[in-house]
């Protein structure tokens, strides 16, 4: 089976979200694209990625961009506490956009390469993610470390949702 999920990536400016989206979807390719494929249990999950700008200037466009979102990737900068604090705002915005529908999501701490400048601890972020029903992972886009993890987490969650829904359809039939 093949799932296509429009994936909302929200973040504050400069946390490195676009770098993540670009690295992941281009996978060494010489052209830009905004979709990518991930395999989970022999099922292919195709991501159609909406990279949402973190600047307030663009916030009005988000509602249009985020119509019927399927999964969420929320990126913050581990060296910037404000970017972490803003995650609550982004999450709230997205959930308001999808009332009554479960949106699997992952919180991603980026820039783990800047060890000396880190201000948001893993434990703190992990707890926040858990409290809000999100998965958690960390990465360094700069060092190309773990940058595939959020996509694999989301593909797995989305595939799981699909399997559960199909079970429901079976029981209703």
Partner 1 sequence: MRAIDWCRSSAGAALVLATSSDEQHPAENVADGSSETFWTTTGMFPQEFIIGFPKCVKISKVAIQCYLVRTLRIERSVSKDPVGFQQCIEKGKILNLNQQGFCGNNVLSFSATYLRFIIKSGFDHFVSVHRVMAEGTAENT
Strand partners, 50: 8
Residue 84 belongs to what H/E stretch? helix 81-85
Nearer to partner 1, 29 or 173 (CB): 173
Q: Does 173 bind partner 1 (CB under 8 A)?
A: yes
Q: Does 101 bind partner 1 (CB under 8 A)?
A: yes
Quick one: CA dihedral 79, 82, 85, 90, positive or negative?
A: negative
Q: Does 115 bind partner 1 (CB under 8 A)?
A: no
Q: Does 33 bind partner 1 (CB under 8 A)?
A: no
Instruction: Please calculate the CA angle 45-33-48 and round it to the nearest 5 degrees.
Output: 35
Nearer to partner 1, 31 or 169 (CB): 169
Minimum separation from the CB atom of position 123 to partner 1 (A) = 32
> d(Cα 171, Cα 120) in Å, to the nearest integer?
45
Which spans of this chain sit near partner 1 (rule: CB under 8 A)? 1-6, 46, 48, 68, 70, 100-101, 158, 161-162, 165-166, 168-169, 172-173
């Amino acid at each position: 089976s093949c799932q296509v999920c429009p994936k909302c990536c929200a973040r504050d400016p400069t946390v490195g979200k676009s770098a993540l989206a670009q690295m992941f979807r281009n996978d060494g390719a010489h052209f830009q694209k905004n979709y990518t494929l991930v395999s989970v249990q022999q099922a292919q999950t195709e991501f159609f990625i909406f990279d949402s700008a973190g600047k307030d200037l663009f916030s009005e466009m988000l509602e249009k961009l985020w119509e019927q979102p399927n999964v969420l990737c929320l990126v913050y900068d581990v060296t910037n506490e404000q970017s972490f604090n803003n995650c609550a705002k982004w999450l709230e915005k997205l959930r308001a956009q999808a009332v009554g529908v479960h949106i699997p999501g992952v919180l991603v701490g980026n820039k783990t390469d800047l060890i000396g400048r880190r201000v948001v601890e893993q434990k703190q972020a992990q707890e926040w993610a858990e409290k809000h029903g999100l998965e958690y992972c960390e990465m360094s886009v700069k060092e190309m470390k773990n940058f595939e993890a959020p996509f694999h987490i989301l593909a797995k969650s989305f595939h799981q949702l699909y399997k559960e829904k199909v079970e429901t359809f079976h029981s209703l039939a």
